[in-house]
């Protein structure tokens, strides 16, 4: 008896049945099986089940739903659990796509976003009303790297009769498992660390069946299904995610320590530094002494300084996304958070010169040399520094 070591890719969009009764039972969900890949596909299901095993290795009742992208996962989660008249408390500092969904789209359907600093438990509790149905948080915020106190948020959400939903893309289950701290649903942009090689796009939502059911229904009805070839690549990436995240986090810790005092850097944020506002929370919630592979730097001279720093890099790529084996940099205000105006950027703690560095698996000394020369170039250039 033998079995394939690689995950089989089932590219069929439709599945045949022996009888009409069999078809009806599978489509109705009374017996397991596959009918149409927008509903379920074997390769996509295998990927989702593998993620669930990483997020909740000891919980047999936790499942997962695969999506075509992280934003598809976020959209289905919010639309599956919120309706007209509801309120959702969310971070003022969150991913730009999430911010746009919260502020541009949800109000069209009568859902009110309440955007505040979710690291302030007192402020979160004060923001709760009779209409609060959800608290939405990011384990490590994009791009400010603020760390959420998940147990405190879970308590507030549950006392209000709502749910805690956590985007844990930046952490991955290698660093933090939000379900263990009371989260009801955890989601990821699988494009990032799970895939790990910048060659596949996907998303996933993890939780128990009573919370996952509405998300599944929204996925099926809205059509954000994960393609089997993408699922194969994402599943393959899961096999090395622990190794990559450990390496990337170790390198990021070294870089943060070496760059924090550079004169071109007005402020450097990394959860592993004692100077980080939520360093204590990170130490309490994160696993194995890992603090992630993202570093945020506020470059002096504002927008011009931040973009000049990016342009001077040689090893680090100017590119979207994060979490892959390649080190990447983005100027937040003009790319990942371009949806936010100046006031919203300021409210989120995103300075005009803020850059987000995603550390890859390259040689740490090579990366350090590249980052230092780029910062030196900002100091030596024609940009007027704001000190």
Give 52-96 pLDDT, tens digit per residue: 999 999 988 999 999 999 999 999 999 999 999 999 999 998 988
The span from the CA of 259 to the CA of 146, in Å, is 19
Residue 169 · residue 198 · CB < 8 Å: no
Of the candidates 345, 170, 164, 168, the residue with the CA atom closest to the CA atom of residue 249 = 170
Residue 148 · residue 164 · CB < 8 Å: no
> DSSP assignment, residue 6?
S
Which residue out of 133, 177, 192, 356 is catalytically annotated?
A: 192
Q: What is the pLDDT of residue 135?
A: 98
All structural domains of the chain? 35-238 (3.40.640.10), 241-380 (3.90.1150.10)
Q: What is the pLDDT of residue 381?
A: 76
Mean pLDDT of 46-51: 98
Q: What is the pLDDT of residue 346?
A: 67
Q: What is the pLDDT of residue 385?
A: 45
Q: What is the pLDDT of residues 323-373, one digit of tens each?
A: 999 999 999 877 666 676 677 766 667 778 899 999 999 999 999 999 999
Q: What is the pLDDT of residues 126-166, one digit of tens each?
A: 999 999 999 999 999 998 999 999 999 999 999 999 999 99
∠ CA(142), CA(68), CA(170), 5° rounding?
Answer: 25
- Compute the mean pLDDT over every residue in the chain, rounded to the nearest whole number: 94
112 as an active site residue: the answer is no
Which residue out of 40, 117, 149, 167 is catalytically annotated?
A: 167
Which residue out of 40, 86, 95, 328 is catalytically annotated?
A: 95
Q: What is the pLDDT of residue 386?
A: 41
23 as an active site residue: the answer is no
| pTM for this predicted structure | 0.94
34 as an active site residue: the answer is no
95 as an active site residue: the answer is yes
Q: What is the pLDDT of residue 1?
A: 84
Q: What is the pLDDT of residue 345?
A: 67
> DSSP assignment, residue 293?
S
Query: What stretch of H or E contains 295?
Result: strand 294-299
Which residue out of 38, 112, 125, 208 is catalytically annotated?
A: 38
Distances from the Cα of 268 to the Cα of 147, 300, 334, angstroms: 15, 11, 19
> Given a cut of 50, is residue 313 above it in pLDDT?
yes
Between the CA atoms of 335, 337, 342 and 348, what dihedral angle is there, to the nearest 10 degrees?
Answer: -140
Q: What count of other Cβ atoms lies within 10 Å of the Cβ of residue 247?
A: 18
The span from the CA of 79 to the CA of 72, in Å, is 10
């Amino acid at each position: 008896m033998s079995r394939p070591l690689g995950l089989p890719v089932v590219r069929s969009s439709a599945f045949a049945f022996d009888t009409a009764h069999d078809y009806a039972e599978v489509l109705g969900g009374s017996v397991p099986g596959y009918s149409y890949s927008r509903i379920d596909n074997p390769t996509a299901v295998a990927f989702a089940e593998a993620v669930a095993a990483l997020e909740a290795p000891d919980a047999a009742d936790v499942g997962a739903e695969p999506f075509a992208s992280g934003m598809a996962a976020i959209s289905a989660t919010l639309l599956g659990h919120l309706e007209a008249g509801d309120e959702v408390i969310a971070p003022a500092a969150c991913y730009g796509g999430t911010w746009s969904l919260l502020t541009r789209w949800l109000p069209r359907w009568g859902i009110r976003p309440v955007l505040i600093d979710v690291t302030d438990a007192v402020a979160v509790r004060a923001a709760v009303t009779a209409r609060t149905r959800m608290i939405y948080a990011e384990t490590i915020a994009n791009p400010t790297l603020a760390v959420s106190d998940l147990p405190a948020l879970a308590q507030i959400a549950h006392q209000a009769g709502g749910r805690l939903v956590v985007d844990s893309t930046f952490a991955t289950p290698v660093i933090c498992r939000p379900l263990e701290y009371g989260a009801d649903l955890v989601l990821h942009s699988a494009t990032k660390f799970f895939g790990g090689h910048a060659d596949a796009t996907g998303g996933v939502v993890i939780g128990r069946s009573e919370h996952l059911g509405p998300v599944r229904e929204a996925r099926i009805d809205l059509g954000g299904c994960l393609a089997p070839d993408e699922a194969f690549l994402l599943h393959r990436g899961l096999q090395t995610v622990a190794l990559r995240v450990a390496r990337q986090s170790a390198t990021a810790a070294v870089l943060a320590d070496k760059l924090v005092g550079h004169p071109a850097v007005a402020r450097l944020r990394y959860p592993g530094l004692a100077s980080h506002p939520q360093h204590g929370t990170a130490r309490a919630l994160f696993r194995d002494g890992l603090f992630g592979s993202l570093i945020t730097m506020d470059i002096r001279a504002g927008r011009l300084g931040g973009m000049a720093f990016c342009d001077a890099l040689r090893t680090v790529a100017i590119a979207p996304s994060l979490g892959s084996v390649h080190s990447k940099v983005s100027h937040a205000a003009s790319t990942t958070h371009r949806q936010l105006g100046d006031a919203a950027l300021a409210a989120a703690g995103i300075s005009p010169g803020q850059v987000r560095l995603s550390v890859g698996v390259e040689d740490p000394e090579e990366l350090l040399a590249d980052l230092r020369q780029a910062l030196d170039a900002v100091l030596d250039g024609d940009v007027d520094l704001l000190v």
